[in-house]
A and B are shown apart, each in its own frame.
Chain A
Amino acid sequence: MKYYLSLLLCLAVCFSWAQSKEDALHNYAQKISTVQTLQSNFIEEKHLALLDQPIQSQGTLAFDKKAQKLRWQYQIPFENGFLIEKDRSYRLQAHTKKPIESAMGRMFINEMLVWLTLDFDSLQKNYHITHEGTQITFTPLLKEHKIVKKITVWLDEKDPRIVTQVKMEEPSGDFIVWKFNHTQINPPLSAEVFP
Chain B
Amino acid sequence: MEIKLEKLDEYRWLIPKTGPMRVPGLIYSNDALMKEVKEDQSLAQVANVATLPGIVGHSLAMPDIHWGYGFPIGGVAAFDLDEGIVSPGGVGYDINCGCRLMTTLLRADEIRPMTKDLISALFKNIPTGVGSTGPLHLSNKDEAGVAVQGAAWAVKKGFGSTEDLDKTEDHGAMDGADPSLLSERAMKRGKDQLGTLGSGNHFIEIQAVEKIYDGQKARAYNLFEGQVVIFIHTGSRGFGHQICDDFLKEMSRDALKESFDLPDRQLACARLKSDQGRRYLAAMACAANYAWANRQILMHWTHETLLKALSINPKELGMSLLYDVCHNIAKKELHTIGGKQVMLCIHRKGATRSLPPGHPLLSEVYRDVGQPVLIPGSMGTRSYVLAGAEGAMAQSFGSTCHGAGRVLSRTKANKMAKGRAIHRELEDIGIFVQSRGKRTLKEEMPEAYKDISQVVEVVHQAGLAQKVARLRPLGVIKG
A and B form one complex? no
Listed in ascending order, the chain B residues whose CB lies under 8 Å from chain A are none
Q: State the A residues within 8 Å of B (CB).
A: none
